[in-house]
Structure 1
Amino acid sequence: MSEPSFGSGYVAGQYTIDGYGAGGFNFGHMSHRGSLLMVPEGVHIWSATRPSEITAESLAPVFAAAKGTVELLLVGTGPDLVPLPAPLRAALKAAGIVSDPMATGAAARTYNILLGERRRVAVALIAVG
């Protein structure tokens, strides 16, 4: 069986985060420099590089997956916690998704725990140096 390829900017499947830092992430025997958006269906390269770029549009895969597969979105906002804007929180809530922003490291660790508990969770992670 071959290992998954991340060449297209998307890879199907759920993966724990094996490591983070140095501007990227390790997961599923892969390494990616830059931000990631992980939903139950798969992992997307995410264009957000700072909290101000976290928008409903940038989170479109989360909203698309929300129909019964995502109930909690962890948002790694970089090295520090940055609250999400009220309109974005409201849009997520209207889609049935609870949002929980935190520093990227905390979001990665919490995601792994919740994934292990088989929770319906997604994570958006801004890469940190």
Structure 2
Amino acid sequence: MQLQTESNPALNTVTAYGRDYIEINQVSYEHAVYFGPQGDIRAWEVKTTADITAEQLRLAAGLGAATADPLDFLDAGTAPAKPPDAPEVVLVGTGLKQQFLPQHVTRELIRLGIGVETMSTQAAARTYNILMAEGRRVIAALLPHEENTP
């Protein structure tokens, strides 16, 4: 499906999607990708929603590797600080149908105050374009439909 929107050519925009591809800035990708309004479109090393781990979600959000602090128990009950350049929300496109992620996968981002929304890839692509056009700090992590169907 072709998406028709007014777009800024300097921003990453989902321009089309189909059963086995996602098109960003008129370049077609046949694998899972993650990206924000600016910067590179990166291959996401997942094939199905079952492959999405907390670490994969951190990577897509641009947070880097988690570090275990042996003194974390002292700060129990306090939320960790959200990095200043962190996204407001990560949109996860789960293929043809919406599939929810387990709580242990989304917990860390939620604790940081970063929203995690799962929806079909079609809905995630449209939502990303709207939020990106509004100037929001949004990340899209999208699975093509074919990779997620049994």
Coarse TM-score class (shorter-chain normalised): 0.7 to 0.9
Please, which runs of 5 or more residues in structure 2 have no aligned partner? 1-9, 65-81
AA paired with 1:30? V
AA paired with 2:63? A
Would the aligned equivalents of 2:124 and 2:142 in 1 still touch at CA under 8 Å? yes
AA paired with 1:58? Q
With normalisation by structure 1, the TM-score equals 0.81
Work out which of the residue numbers 27, 31, 35 in structure 2 matches 1:30: 27
**RMSD value, Cα:** 1.9
Would the aligned equivalents of 2:32 and 2:44 in 1 still touch at CA under 8 Å? yes
Q: 2: distance between equivalents of 1:79 and 1:105?
A: 7
With normalisation by structure 2, the TM-score equals 0.70
Q: Which residue of 2 aligns with 1:20?
A: 17
Aligned length: 117
Q: Which residue of 2 aligns with 1:45?
A: 43
Deviating beyond 4 angstroms after TM superposition, the runs of 4 or more aligned structure 1 residues are none
Structure with the largest fraction of strand: 1
Please, which runs of 5 or more residues in structure 1 have no aligned partner? 1-12
In the alignment, is residue 62 of structure 1 matched against residue 61 of structure 2?
yes
Structure 1, 47-56 or 111-120: larger mean CA deviation: 47-56
Q: CA deviation at 1:93?
A: 1.0
